[in-house]
Protein backbone atom coordinates (compact mmCIF):
# COMPACT_ATOMS: atom_id res chain seq x y z
CA UNK A 1 0.00 0.00 0.00
CA UNK A 2 1.30 3.44 -0.94
CA UNK A 3 1.25 6.20 1.67
CA UNK A 4 0.17 9.79 1.05
CA UNK A 5 3.80 10.83 1.46
CA UNK A 6 4.90 8.35 -1.24
CA UNK A 7 2.18 9.52 -3.63
CA UNK A 8 3.16 13.15 -3.01
CA UNK A 9 6.84 12.38 -3.53
CA UNK A 10 6.03 10.56 -6.78
CA UNK A 11 4.16 13.65 -8.02
CA UNK A 12 7.15 15.83 -7.14
CA UNK A 13 9.42 13.50 -9.12
CA UNK A 14 7.08 13.55 -12.16
CA UNK A 15 6.87 17.35 -12.09
CA UNK A 16 10.65 17.59 -11.66
CA UNK A 17 11.16 15.33 -14.68
CA UNK A 18 8.71 17.35 -16.79
CA UNK A 19 10.35 20.66 -15.87
CA UNK A 20 13.79 19.25 -16.70
CA UNK A 21 12.44 18.15 -20.08
CA UNK A 22 11.39 21.79 -20.58
CA UNK A 23 14.96 22.95 -19.99
CA UNK A 24 14.81 23.95 -16.33
CA UNK A 25 17.42 23.15 -13.73
CA UNK A 26 15.33 21.79 -10.87
CA UNK A 27 16.11 21.47 -7.18
CA UNK A 28 13.82 19.43 -4.92
CA UNK A 29 13.44 20.41 -1.30
CA UNK A 30 12.79 17.10 0.41
CA UNK A 31 10.43 17.13 3.35
CA UNK A 32 6.72 17.69 3.57
CA UNK A 33 6.79 20.95 5.52
CA UNK A 34 8.71 23.13 3.08
CA UNK A 35 7.09 26.23 1.54
CA UNK A 36 8.41 25.11 -1.84
CA UNK A 37 8.66 21.55 -3.20
CA UNK A 38 10.68 22.43 -6.31
CA UNK A 39 12.76 25.38 -7.42
CA UNK A 40 12.99 25.49 -11.22
CA UNK A 41 15.48 27.85 -12.87
CA UNK A 42 15.89 28.76 -16.52
CA UNK A 43 17.61 31.85 -17.93
CA UNK A 44 15.66 34.82 -16.61
CA UNK A 45 13.07 32.61 -14.89
CA UNK A 46 12.61 31.20 -11.42
CA UNK A 47 9.59 29.08 -10.52
CA UNK A 48 8.72 28.14 -6.95
CA UNK A 49 6.54 25.06 -7.30
CA UNK A 50 4.28 23.44 -4.72
CA UNK A 51 2.94 20.02 -5.80
CA UNK A 52 -0.50 18.94 -4.63
CA UNK A 53 -2.46 15.95 -5.85
CA UNK A 54 -5.71 17.74 -4.94
CA UNK A 55 -4.82 20.99 -6.69
CA UNK A 56 -5.62 22.96 -3.53
CA UNK A 57 -3.47 24.73 -0.98
CA UNK A 58 -4.71 25.85 2.44
CA UNK A 59 -4.49 29.65 2.91
CA UNK A 60 -1.41 29.51 5.18
CA UNK A 61 0.57 27.40 2.67
CA UNK A 62 -0.71 29.48 -0.25
CA UNK A 63 0.34 32.76 1.35
CA UNK A 64 3.72 31.40 2.47
CA UNK A 65 4.46 30.34 -1.13
CA UNK A 66 3.15 33.65 -2.51
CA UNK A 67 5.18 35.75 -0.05
CA UNK A 68 8.41 33.79 -0.55
CA UNK A 69 8.09 33.98 -4.35
CA UNK A 70 7.41 37.73 -4.18
CA UNK A 71 10.48 38.23 -1.96
CA UNK A 72 12.70 36.27 -4.39
CA UNK A 73 11.20 37.59 -7.64
CA UNK A 74 10.01 34.08 -8.54
CA UNK A 75 6.74 32.88 -10.04
CA UNK A 76 4.62 30.94 -7.52
CA UNK A 77 3.24 27.80 -9.19
CA UNK A 78 0.90 25.06 -8.00
CA UNK A 79 1.28 21.72 -9.80
CA UNK A 80 -1.93 19.67 -9.69
CA UNK A 81 -2.14 15.93 -10.34
CA UNK A 82 -4.70 14.95 -12.99
CA UNK A 83 -5.91 11.48 -13.90
CA UNK A 84 -3.50 11.68 -16.83
CA UNK A 85 -0.65 14.13 -16.46
CA UNK A 86 -0.68 17.34 -14.50
CA UNK A 87 -1.77 20.95 -14.71
CA UNK A 88 0.13 24.03 -13.57
CA UNK A 89 -1.43 27.11 -11.97
CA UNK A 90 0.16 30.51 -11.42
CA UNK A 91 -0.83 32.03 -8.08
CA UNK A 92 -2.15 35.52 -8.84
CA UNK A 93 -2.58 36.97 -5.35
CA UNK A 94 -2.59 36.15 -1.67
CA UNK A 95 -5.46 33.98 -0.48
CA UNK A 96 -7.11 36.26 2.07
CA UNK A 97 -10.82 35.55 1.69
CA UNK A 98 -11.91 32.19 3.13
CA UNK A 99 -14.25 30.32 0.80
CA UNK A 100 -13.41 32.55 -2.18
CA UNK A 101 -12.16 31.11 -5.44
CA UNK A 102 -8.42 30.51 -5.40
CA UNK A 103 -6.75 33.49 -7.15
CA UNK A 104 -4.90 31.55 -9.83
CA UNK A 105 -4.75 31.11 -13.60
CA UNK A 106 -3.62 28.15 -15.64
CA UNK A 107 0.08 28.39 -16.40
CA UNK A 108 1.82 27.00 -19.45
CA UNK A 109 5.37 26.07 -18.44
CA UNK A 110 6.93 27.69 -21.53
CA UNK A 111 4.86 30.90 -21.43
CA UNK A 112 7.67 32.83 -19.72
CA UNK A 113 10.08 31.88 -22.50
CA UNK A 114 7.99 33.97 -24.91
CA UNK A 115 8.69 37.13 -22.89
CA UNK A 116 12.22 36.31 -21.69
CA UNK A 117 15.17 37.22 -23.96
Burial 57-86 (b: 16+ CB within 10 A, else e): beeebbbbbbeebeeeebbbbbbbbeeeee
Integer angstrom CA distances of residue 13 from 37, 44, 59, 92, 97 = 10, 23, 24, 25, 32
Predicted confidence at residue 81, as pLDDT, reads 85
**Domain presence at residue 31:** yes
The answer to whether residue 113 scores a pLDDT higher than 60 is no
Number of domains in the chain: 1
User: Domain holding 42: CATH number?
Assistant: 3.40.1350.10
**Domain presence at residue 52:** yes
**Domain presence at residue 99:** no
| pLDDT-based confidence at residue 31 (cuts at 50, 70, 90) | low
Distance CA 76, CA 69 (A): 6
Identity of the highest mean pLDDT range in 5-9, 49-53, 65-69, 105-109: 65-69
Give the pTM.
0.86
Of 27 and 97, more confident? 27
Distance CA 72, CA 112 (A): 17
Predicted confidence at residue 84, as pLDDT, reads 84
Range of the domain at 13: 4-92
Amino acid sequence: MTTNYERGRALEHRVRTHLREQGYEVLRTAGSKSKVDLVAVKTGQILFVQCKRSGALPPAEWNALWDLAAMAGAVPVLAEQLTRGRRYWRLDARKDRPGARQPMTEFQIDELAAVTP
